[in-house]
Amino acid sequence: MDDAGRDVSFADAASFGPGVTGAVTRDRRDDPVRSETNISPTSATMFATTLRSRRARQKSALPPLRWLPRMAAGRAGMEKLIGAQVDMSQLWLAIPRRTVRRSRRKPLEQQQREFDLELLQVACTQAASWPDGMRLMVSLEDDQAPDTAFNGRLNSVLDQSGFPISRLDLVFQESGIAQEEREVCYTLASLRDRGVQIFTNGFGSSVSSLTLLRERAVSGLLDGVQFDLAVLSASTLSWSLQGSVPELDEGAVVFYRAALEAVKALGLCIRATGVDTPKQLEFVQKTGCSEASGLILAGAETTAQITERFASVDGRSRRRRMTRTAEGL
Q: Domain coordinates of the chain in residue numbers?
A: 106-229+249-314
Percent of the chain with pLDDT over 70: 69
Selection from 245, 264, 246 nearest residue 256 by Cα: 264
Q: Tell me yes or no: is domain 106-229+249-314 CATH 3.40.50.970.
A: no
> What pLDDT score was predicted for residue 74?
83
pLDDT digits over 216-274, tens only? Answer: 999 999 999 999 999 998 776 555 555 667 788 889 999 999 999 999 999 999 999 99
Q: What DSSP assignment string belongs to 316-328? A: HHHHHHHHHHHHH
> Hey, what amino acid is at 306?
I
Residue 65, SS3 per DSSP: coil
What is residue 19's DSSP assignment?
T
Looking at mean pLDDT, say which of 10-19, 61-70, 199-208, 316-325 comes out highest. 61-70
Give the least confident one: 56-65, 75-84, 120-129: 56-65
CA 257, CA 11: separation in Å to the nearest integer?
88
Percent of the chain beyond pLDDT 90?
Answer: 52
Question: Reduced to 3 DSSP states, what percent helix, strand and coil does the chain have, rounded to the nearest 5?
Answer: 45, 15, 35
| Segment 3-26 mean pLDDT | 49
Whole-model pTM: value is 0.74
